[in-house]
Structure 1
Amino acid sequence: MIGTQNSYRYMLHSDSLETYDFGPTPDLGTLSSIDEFNKDFFAYSYTRGLVVTYKGEVSIHKFADYAGGYILDYYNEYDYWSKTLDNGISMLTVSGGDENRSEELHFSFYNGEVKFEGKTSINNSFLYKQHNGDKFYYYTTYVKPGESYVTMVKNEQDTTKVRLPEEFKASVVLADSGYLYLAADYPYIWRMNRNQYFMKGILFYDTNRNGIKDPGEEGINKYAMEIKPAGIKVFADRNGFFSFAAEPGEQYILEIPADSLFDYVSKEFPYTLSGSEINMIGFTVRNFKPEVKTNFYLPWPRCSTTEVARLKVENPGILSIEKVRLTLVGDPLAEITSTEAVEAKTDTLIFEIEDFESFNDKTLSYDITFPDFNSVNAILTFKLFAEIFSSGSVVNTSIDSLSTMVRCAVDPNDKAVTPIGLWDDHFTLFNTTLDYLIRFENTGNDTAYTVAIHDTLDVNLDASTLEVKGSSHDVITEVDKEGKVIFHFENIMLPDSTTNKEKAQGFVRFTIKPKKNISEMTVVRNKAGIVFDKNPPVITNEVFNTFVSQYPVVSSVESPKERMQLIYPNPASTLINIKGAEGTYVDIYDFTGKHVSQSKELTINTSDWKNGLYIFRIFDSNGKAISIEKVLVVK
């Protein structure tokens, strides 16, 4: 029983109560149970029918009248179940059938009125009815180990099918206005959000161009979808499935991205989405080039800890790949190790994947040992190089990088940005793509059924350039015309960190570009709110970047005539000299913004430095910055 009222069931093992006089009744068989919904409201369940009494009034319902005369004498005390919903409507479901057919009959009771709500052909379904007449059926389907689904049907036509987590075999036992309750792994009950009004669809590679998703035809998640006129941008998940919250009665029109390589589409575009079915849209692609998608992230950089990191590699295309070589270059301040690497050094790991089938993925594990407290606030940069081989030669490459800052105390729900930017102002050059990483952890004391990350983009960011780079779990991304982004992790079933620290964690990563023609010294800020189920949002830290046309290099000397280069020679080879009084010191960065070293010497040996551009920030003896200069080291 659930909801605002108590309901009681009396299971009978004798015929003693059949002597109740309801007046003339058809043959209803044997009395099996009595349901007491309140002191005036009772339901007497027989093997062939149902008798309801409300304040002395009696109504009789013979099951054969609703089952088409097919099901007789099947119902027994184990095939009835009743409940009182949280809106005060009481429900009773009876099941029956034989080796050829099975079905369930659903009745509702409210204010003494009995209604037959319908029948379903699937056992263990659950009906939730609203006062406005809307009906929601729920049932689960177990396909095979690791593949189970819960299906939600609104008014017998609008169907949503959600895949449950692996190794999760369950049945729907209850529902209320906000959630479904699933029974699995006795004695546990699991909870998930119940159905809302969603537009739903699947994008897939329609290799035979018949408009039907046939076995072996995989989903597409490469392209964002523009939904007009709502101004919504939606990214499908890894299986090509997409959905977004919709307003009943509104029209939603799907347009093909201008940069797509589709040479066939199974629907006529622009395409008006249907709210009464799953919109199946097939594509084929022209001039397809083999590529890989790397789902790459960094765990929380806690001082002196070793954390497990994972790199997921996907072949999203229709072609198999002969070989993929992945080279992960770690930061010199950290140590990376892996038993899966074919080659390993302290700061470099090389992985290889051969005969990489289309639409397959592989997860690679490695450990990162972060530096101790002496490196707190140091910026760590990791780079990933991917090479795709065909006939022994490289035919495609990609480069990915992430930066993070070493911290000794850390909130596990946080946000990071790459590049972090130079110095305290986080200077970043115009047109630089920002790469945001949002990490989350369920630090509560129970499983989180859903996670939603809300991110309102800075007004200086171009929402049309947003691209989802990776995530820990299946995610559907929605971007509205006002720049509000929601990452939906539905039915994520995230355990709490005290139960399973590693599985309690997740992340999402996306890239976005600043708007064109923004002003010099424009500051772009970003933070996110992470909602676990219906709890208050957890607000992350704020990150920011200051956009400039070039990095500041002007000395703070007051008179322009007195300004001079304080570093020579430039370019340099093996030595760099600094003009300064006693107490002068410098902070040295490479061009990515990574802090290389600090020196109080006025002559610096650069013989073991790599070629490249370095940035020197020069301070006087009082710690005041007096100049910022770029130096090119060439040997």
Structure 2
Amino acid sequence: MFVYTANIKPTVMKKFLLTLAFAAFCSLGARAQATAYEVDEISQCMYEVFDLAALSPVILGDQNPDEYSVTFFTTEANANANTAAITNPQAYIINGWQQTIWVRVENNANGDYDVDDFIISMHQGIEVPEFDDVVTCGSFILPFIQWPSLYYTEPNMGGTPLQSGTAITTSQTIYIHAVNGVCNDESSFTVTITGNGPALVPPNPLIACDEDGDGFETFDLATLVEAIESIEGIDGVTVHETFIDAENGTNPVPSLSSYISPVMPQIVTVYIRAVAGSGCITILPLQLIVTECNLTGNSFSGTVKYDGNNDGCDGNDNPAAGVWVSYTHENTTYYAYTDANGYYEFTNVPDGESYVSVEAIPGFNVSPQSMAVTFPGNDPIDNDFCITAAAPVQDILVYIYPSTFAVPGFETAYVVVLQNLGTTTVSGSITIQYDASNLAYIPSPGFTQSGNMLTVNYTDLSAFETQYFYFSGTLAAPPALNIGDVITFTAVANPLTGDANPDNNTYVLDHQIVNSYDPNDITCREGEFITEEQADGYLHYMVRFQNTGTFPATNVRVEGILDDKLDWDTFEPINASHNYQAYRTEDNIKFMFDTINLPDSTSNEAASHGYVIYKIKPKASVQVGDTMSAQVGIYFDFNTAVITNTYNTTIETMAIDAVVKETFALYPNPANNSVNIKLQDTVNAGVIITDVLDKTVLKSQVNGEVTLDVSALNSGVYFVTVQAGSTHATQKLVVK
């Protein structure tokens, strides 16, 4: 829906190109002076496509459209010069939330023109609560709802406004309406008063936990039903799984004392049907809430630190973030991931003896190697671990990921993450190559720009430390970028010399262009199809969530089940938008955002978003045709889980046009003086080697196999591209 208003009023600025004599002639009858009549601000609700052409009649006023033309521009300079006009004014995508548009009205006969401007803006939407229909005896009390949502007796804020707490005594439809600028939303529910009888109050939710972890929980509904039956005037009570069944009195729940409810979703609603002696019927919703069990009440926590100066861990040493800590009880192992402060915590620890340890980290020693905790009666005081370096190792890792969706014409943001996986402190720089033709870089703290290259420096990156760098830019609008297109970023962390694992010093992000989206979803960076070679590496998943309710969420929890074709032991959280704790028990993963206080989208849209990123490898046994699925449930406080989409990633067979990509071999890598390039024997291809600045440093041809001399190249990262016809493939090459 969009709304605009127009006020016809000549603007002051005019371009007089007529001679005095011709002006006099025009004053006698014919009109030649062009006028752009003013248009008030055009506002739309959550719809970024504007039909500017529809404004032409307002802009022209009384001028003949056959004699005058209307053209739209994004700058005043272009409007005056009549250059770079908006090519598709019928479907113009706004750049940001508000934008000034310039319009030029021109006399087709003599070129006289006038220029004026107006504003287009897009506003955030608003959501009102939705209630089930109500069937009751006597009266119904309207529940409390938060402003700006209000009750009305007719649609579109018609009829009589009603306050929360109003008693409804006659059957009618109640409407809930809210307005936010030009945006509005409405829901309705029907209140049916079935006659006179005892007034029944909806019961409090029943809360239980999944004690045996089987995904189901049993509720005793019989006790509640007996309590309602004991109320004077009530003749019969049944429980139903749907409102329609309760209304019709069909399909009652047969076993009230042991009703089984699935854990997913977390909240299930059943309906109680109470029939009074007078014949009137009351239907009461009952929520069944499944919470996380904490049966034992046992918990322990601690910190993991890195002793950089080998004098024992103390308060001056850095925390070891991102370290797996586990405890084993009998035959089950539970995992937690240290946060940015090196902190870990386990709750609901079983009674008896358990053994705690830090997962082995190559190149480091851990003290103590393990410790025992016993409950009850032996609650340990010190559960801390100290890590020291076994030998000096330089190993830095870089990756880049988007923190927003890539919507054409809008600003998008990215996070560059640098981790020190080695034992030595490192300083250097990160370069990011990007498509400058489709992304207009917005100056960001710490970054410098040169052409299509961004550079940011880092200093004193110590072991286990992670540093974050943020930049943003505005994506080109269609037709330059369209849904399904990809914009690529290549991040390279320097120095490369002496790094134990140069392969993780480079990261390539392919960010897919989207449009309107579900704010709660899961995606895999590698995409819906991967090769057998890619199946040997990590898959990177991002879960995005947004509080689209009407009140801030105190806690957020993300839970999921890992696919059985994934190697669960390789699961590793990477980063998140807020402080979190990560846990894994076999194939169950959980991210806890306690006290996140995530704002609702109606009061603070920008801050209502969050995300978490993790990576995991497929099992070594996977093969072509296997599909790995990912789906999670997102819980905002005690609300029903928001179940995301299911993202499927399939190992694909080799397509004919992918022969070059699949048979392209590059060795040795890293290389010293020479490198071999090998393709399928029947393939002839051109070879181009470029540096990280996209500068071509070497060209050649390959017919099956070729050896290239790279001794003249400086040490660093290069990209080798082979192209046969319309097919090309690129691999990274490290020259020592």
Q: TM-score, normalised by structure 2?
A: 0.45
The question of whether the paired residues in 1 share the 8 Å contact of 2:433 and 2:490 is answered with yes
The question of whether the paired residues in 1 share the 8 Å contact of 2:411 and 2:474 is answered with yes
What are the superposed Cα offsets for residues 523-563 of structure 1, whole Å, 9 maximum, x if unpaired?
A: 11112211111211222222221114x522289xxxxxxxx
Matched with 1:383 is 490
Q: TM-score, normalised by structure 1?
A: 0.52
Matched with 1:217 is 317
Q: Looking at secondary structure, tell me which structure has more helix per residue.
A: 2
In the TM superposition, what is the alpha-carbon distance from 1:360 to its structure 2 partner? 6.4
Q: 1:202 aligns with which of 303, 317, 328?
A: 303
Q: Partner amino acid for 2:449? A: A
Q: Partner amino acid for 2:338? A: A
In the TM superposition, what is the alpha-carbon distance from 1:630 to its structure 2 partner? 5.2
- Unpaired segments of 5 or more residues in structure 2? 1-203, 205-288, 659-680, 688-718, 732-736
Q: Partner amino acid for 1:230? A: T
Q: Does 1:287 align with 2:391?
A: yes
What are the superposed Cα offsets for residues 377-406 of structure 1, whole Å, 9 maximum, x if unpaired?
A: 22333332211489xx87875223333321
- Determine the C-alpha separation between the residues in 2 that align with 1:233 and 1:331: 41
The question of whether the paired residues in 2 share the 8 Å contact of 1:295 and 1:311 is answered with yes
Q: Partner amino acid for 2:364? A: F
Aligned ranges 1:44-443 → 2 under 5 Å: 197-206=298-307, 214-228=314-328, 229-265=331-367, 267-269=368-370, 271-272=372-373, 275=379, 277=381, 279-292=383-396, 294=398, 296-298=400-402, 299-313=404-418, 319-321=424-426, 323-331=427-435, 334-335=438-439, 337=441, 338-340=443-445, 342-345=447-450, 347-356=452-461, 362-374=467-479, 375-388=482-495, 397=502, 398-422=505-529, 429-443=534-548
Matched with 2:589 is 485
Q: Relative to 1, partners in 2 of residues 1:354 and 1:412: Cα closer, same or farther, differing over 3 Å? A: same
- Number of equivalenced pairs: 378
Matched with 1:470 is 575
- Determine the C-alpha separation between the residues in 2 that align with 1:278 and 1:396: 35
- Unpaired segments of 5 or more residues in structure 1? 1-85, 87-177, 179-192, 556-567, 575-609, 617-628
The question of whether the paired residues in 2 share the 8 Å contact of 1:454 and 1:487 is answered with yes
Q: Relative to 1, partners in 2 of residues 1:312 and 1:268: Cα closer, same or farther, differing over 3 Å? A: closer
- Determine the C-alpha separation between the residues in 1 that align with 2:512 and 2:297: 40
Q: SS at the partner of 2:610?
A: strand
- Determine the C-alpha separation between the residues in 2 that align with 1:204 and 1:498: 41
What are the superposed Cα offsets for residues 69-119 of structure 1, whole Å, 9 maximum, x if unpaired?
A: xxxxxxxxxxxxxxxxx9xxxxxxxxxxxxxxxxxxxxxxxxxxxxxxxxx
The question of whether the paired residues in 1 share the 8 Å contact of 2:325 and 2:357 is answered with yes
In the TM superposition, what is the alpha-carbon distance from 1:231 to its structure 2 partner? 2.3
- Determine the C-alpha separation between the residues in 2 that align with 1:293 and 1:417: 20
- Determine the C-alpha separation between the residues in 1 that align with 2:534 and 2:616: 14
Matched with 2:656 is 553
Q: SS at the partner of 1:465?
A: strand
The question of whether the paired residues in 1 share the 8 Å contact of 2:298 and 2:349 is answered with yes
- Determine the C-alpha separation between the residues in 2 that align with 1:210 and 1:226: 26
Matched with 1:139 is none
Matched with 2:195 is none
Q: SS at the partner of 1:297?
A: strand
In the TM superposition, what is the alpha-carbon distance from 1:514 to its structure 2 partner? 0.4
Q: Relative to 1, partners in 2 of residues 1:207 and 1:352: Cα closer, same or farther, differing over 3 Å? A: closer
Q: SS at the partner of 1:503?
A: helix
Q: SS at the partner of 2:332?
A: coil
Q: SS at the partner of 1:448?
A: coil
The question of whether the paired residues in 1 share the 8 Å contact of 2:398 and 2:492 is answered with no
Aligned ranges 1:505-516 → 2 under 5 Å: 505-516=609-620
In the TM superposition, what is the alpha-carbon distance from 1:270 to its structure 2 partner? 5.5
- Determine the C-alpha separation between the residues in 2 that align with 1:218 and 1:611: 40
In the TM superposition, what is the alpha-carbon distance from 1:259 to its structure 2 partner? 4.1
Q: SS at the partner of 2:656?
A: coil
In the TM superposition, what is the alpha-carbon distance from 1:268 to its structure 2 partner? 4.9
The question of whether the paired residues in 2 share the 8 Å contact of 1:451 and 1:533 is answered with yes
Matched with 2:684 is 571
- Determine the C-alpha separation between the residues in 2 that align with 1:426 and 1:540: 25
Q: Partner amino acid for 1:553? A: I
Q: Partner amino acid for 2:583? A: E
Q: Relative to 1, partners in 2 of residues 1:227 and 1:196: Cα closer, same or farther, differing over 3 Å? A: same
Q: Partner amino acid for 1:491? A: T
- Determine the C-alpha separation between the residues in 2 that align with 1:496 and 1:529: 18
What are the superposed Cα offsets for residues 257-315 of structure 1, whole Å, 9 maximum, x if unpaired?
A: 244433350x3526447755462222222124345565742011223211233435465
Q: Relative to 1, partners in 2 of residues 1:445 and 1:632: Cα closer, same or farther, differing over 3 Å? A: closer
- Determine the C-alpha separation between the residues in 2 that align with 1:497 and 1:387: 40
Aligned ranges 1:1-20 → 2 under 5 Å: none
In the TM superposition, what is the alpha-carbon distance from 1:407 to its structure 2 partner? 1.3
- Determine the C-alpha separation between the residues in 2 that align with 1:328 and 1:347: 8
- Determine the C-alpha separation between the residues in 2 that align with 1:428 and 1:264: 34
The question of whether the paired residues in 1 share the 8 Å contact of 2:399 and 2:491 is answered with no
- Determine the C-alpha separation between the residues in 2 that align with 1:260 and 1:368: 38
What are the superposed Cα offsets for residues 164-221 of structure 1, whole Å, 9 maximum, x if unpaired?
A: xxxxxxxxxxxxxx9xxxxxxxxxxxxxx9x96533221122467787x532122212
Q: Partner amino acid for 2:617? A: K
The question of whether the paired residues in 2 share the 8 Å contact of 1:290 and 1:388 is answered with no
